[in-house]
Amino acid sequence: MFCALLFFHVSFSGAFTAFAETREEIRKLYKAGVDYINESNFEAAEAVFKKIIEAGYEFAEAYNNLGYARMKLKKNQEAIFEFKNALRLNPDFADALNNLGLIYSENIATAQMGLQYLKRAVEQNRDNASYHDSLGLGYHRLGFIKEAEVEFKTANLIDRTLITPVYNLGYLYETNDRQKAAIAEYLKVISMQRDHLMANYRLFKIYSKIDDRPLMANYLFSIFKILKTGSRVDKSERAAVENEIICNLKAFIVEVAINFNAEIKKMTLVESSSSGGEKETFIAPSEYLISYEEFSKKNLFYFFEGTELRCPETGKYYTNYINHVVCPVHGSLSIFTDKVQNIKQLRNSYHRNICAEYRKMLDYALFLKDIDRPGEKAGAIDAQTIKSLVEGGYLRDLPECPVGGKFSLDANGFVTCSIHGVSAR
Ligand SMILES: [Zn+2]
Ligand SMILES: [Zn+2]
């Protein structure tokens, strides 16, 4: 919400030291600073208000606006300092009370104190929708759900055109397991502003949670469109959404890489097993608490650019021990990782086929041997049996179930695998 004042009272305090700027120039500067804030150019706004104050024109609005620009630039400690400066000059300055309250509310350790400032802002001006909206955020932060709901609704009653209370109410519902109500509020937001990034994003998240593929795809498409064309998109909101989507996509690739790599190692093992005595070295995807040092050590990304496959924010991935790769902050999206399930299925049927091929080979070798030397049929197929088959020239490759199943002969004299059973005939 925008809480910088457009007008300022010409009641300067503080001693005027050396300044080249006239009052008229300061007025122009101030106007430019407010314009910068409206254009979300907070670096420029910060510089302007800093300049005004340094010129000796100390007034609460300039401090408040400087604080606001710094708050937007995530310089929270400096912003707090400026809001306090504003309140030093004008203790009942509602905008500064509101901004200071908001910034304190961000941190759970100071949220209680923040709530007191937010309440004071509302007391100063009960007809200001933004202050009620902020107070709602303060309540939500501390878990006062009912109170938060009342404030968001009050803000909406005061100003029907203000979008943030509607969005915040939706988020309140979403975080309190009232998905239907949340969806209704987010849809209201979109009816007010079609290219509202966060409302589209929250809807995308809700529909991925309840696994509604068509709507999920619909909102993901909207998000991409807004990110591409939206000029009004807030920088930090854009970064948050982009990071999360990129993170989820990368988690998917990492998951594929782990699965794929396990496959490659297994195949290498099968190929080299004729040399005998090989230890099983392949990596089960669920073994990982993923560290990138591990990745490079075990050469997991030998055809991916491994170092790029990090969450842009946390730089980490974990597996959640159900074989899905997740980020500690962003989790993972079923829309992506579900595909890995297909890869696992593919891998399973691939293994099944290899096993079946080997069993067929064994069946045939045993059949040939039986013709040559009838009556020598063995019940178990152990290493010795296989060795003698190879030495007898009945087998060229070393048959082995790719997932470690043990071969034996069933009642009908066919080769069966302890994992894959006997081939359908
Ligand atoms: Zn992440
Ligand atoms: Zn098998």
pLDDT in tens, 103-120: 999 999 999 999 999 999
Residue 400 C-alpha to ligand 2 middle, in angstroms?
Answer: 8
**Which ligand sits nearest to residue 356's alpha carbon?**
2
* Paired sense of beta strands 407-409 and 415-417, if any: antiparallel
Residue 294 C-alpha to ligand 1 middle, in angstroms?
Answer: 19
Q: 14-53: per-residue pLDDT in tens?
A: 444 445 567 888 889 999 999 999 988 999 999 999 999 9
Domain boundary among 297, 332, 367: 332
Domain boundary among 34, 67, 91: 91
At position 50, the amino acid (one-letter code) is K
Considering the domain architecture, whether residues 327 and 353 belong to the same structural domain is answered as no
The pLDDT confidence band at residue 370, using thresholds 50, 70 and 90, is: confident
Residue 182 lies in a domain: no
Residue 404 C-alpha to ligand 2 middle, in angstroms?
Answer: 7
Considering the domain architecture, whether residues 315 and 397 belong to the same structural domain is answered as no
Window from 69-73, 145-149, 361-365 with minimum mean pLDDT: 361-365
Residue 407 C-alpha to ligand 2 middle, in angstroms?
Answer: 8
Mean pLDDT of 329-337: 73
Percent of the chain topping pLDDT 90:
42
Domain CATH number, residue 42: 1.25.40.10
Residue 336 C-alpha to ligand 2 middle, in angstroms?
Answer: 30
* Paired sense of beta strands 407-409 and 325-326, if any: unpaired
Residue 60 lies in a domain: yes
Domain boundary among 91, 114, 147: 91
Q: What is the mean pLDDT of the chain?
A: 81
Residue 305 lies in a domain: yes
Give the whole-angstrom CA distance, residue 38 versus residue 36.
Answer: 5
Residue 169 lies in a domain: no
Residue 327 C-alpha to ligand 1 middle, in angstroms?
Answer: 5
Considering the domain architecture, whether residues 48 and 13 belong to the same structural domain is answered as yes
Q: Which residues pair with 327 in a beta bridge?
A: 331
Residue 212 lies in a domain: no
Mean pLDDT of 313-317: 73
Considering the domain architecture, whether residues 316 and 376 belong to the same structural domain is answered as no
Q: Which residue has the higher pLDDT, 152 or 237?
A: 152
Residue 216 lies in a domain: no
Contacts of residue 390, Cβ cutoff 8 Å, sequence gap at least 6: 396, 398
Q: Which domain holds residue 2?
A: 1-91
- Residue reference for tokens 């099983």: 280
Considering the domain architecture, whether residues 375 and 404 belong to the same structural domain is answered as yes
> Considering only CA atoms, which of 290, 301, 300 is closest in space to residue 326?
290
Considering the domain architecture, whether residues 321 and 366 belong to the same structural domain is answered as no
Residue 325 C-alpha to ligand 2 middle, in angstroms?
Answer: 27
Give the whole-angstrom CA distance, residue 48 versus residue 62.
Answer: 9
Residue 369 C-alpha to ligand 2 middle, in angstroms?
Answer: 22
Considering the domain architecture, whether residues 1 and 74 belong to the same structural domain is answered as yes
Total structural domains in the chain? 3
Considering the domain architecture, whether residues 354 and 399 belong to the same structural domain is answered as yes
pLDDT of the residue at 120: 97
Residue 223 lies in a domain: no
**Which ligand sits nearest to residue 248's alpha carbon?**
1
Q: 251-290: per-residue pLDDT in tens?
A: 777 777 666 655 544 444 433 444 444 444 444 444 444 5
Percent of the chain topping pLDDT 70:
76
Mean pLDDT of 56-82: 94
Q: Which residue has the higher pLDDT, 233 or 257?
A: 233
pLDDT of the residue at 132: 98
pLDDT of the residue at 17: 45
The pLDDT confidence band at residue 102, using thresholds 50, 70 and 90, is: very high
**Which ligand sits nearest to residue 420's alpha carbon?**
2
Considering the domain architecture, whether residues 379 and 309 belong to the same structural domain is answered as no
Considering the domain architecture, whether residues 6 and 86 belong to the same structural domain is answered as yes
Residue 353 has pLDDT above 90, yes or no: no
Considering the domain architecture, whether residues 3 and 87 belong to the same structural domain is answered as yes
Residue 389 lies in a domain: yes
Considering the domain architecture, whether residues 322 and 385 belong to the same structural domain is answered as no
pLDDT of the residue at 254: 75
Any idea of the CA torsion for 34, 37, 42, 47, to the nearest 10 degrees?
0
Residue 302 C-alpha to ligand 2 middle, in angstroms?
Answer: 28
Residue 412 C-alpha to ligand 2 middle, in angstroms?
Answer: 18
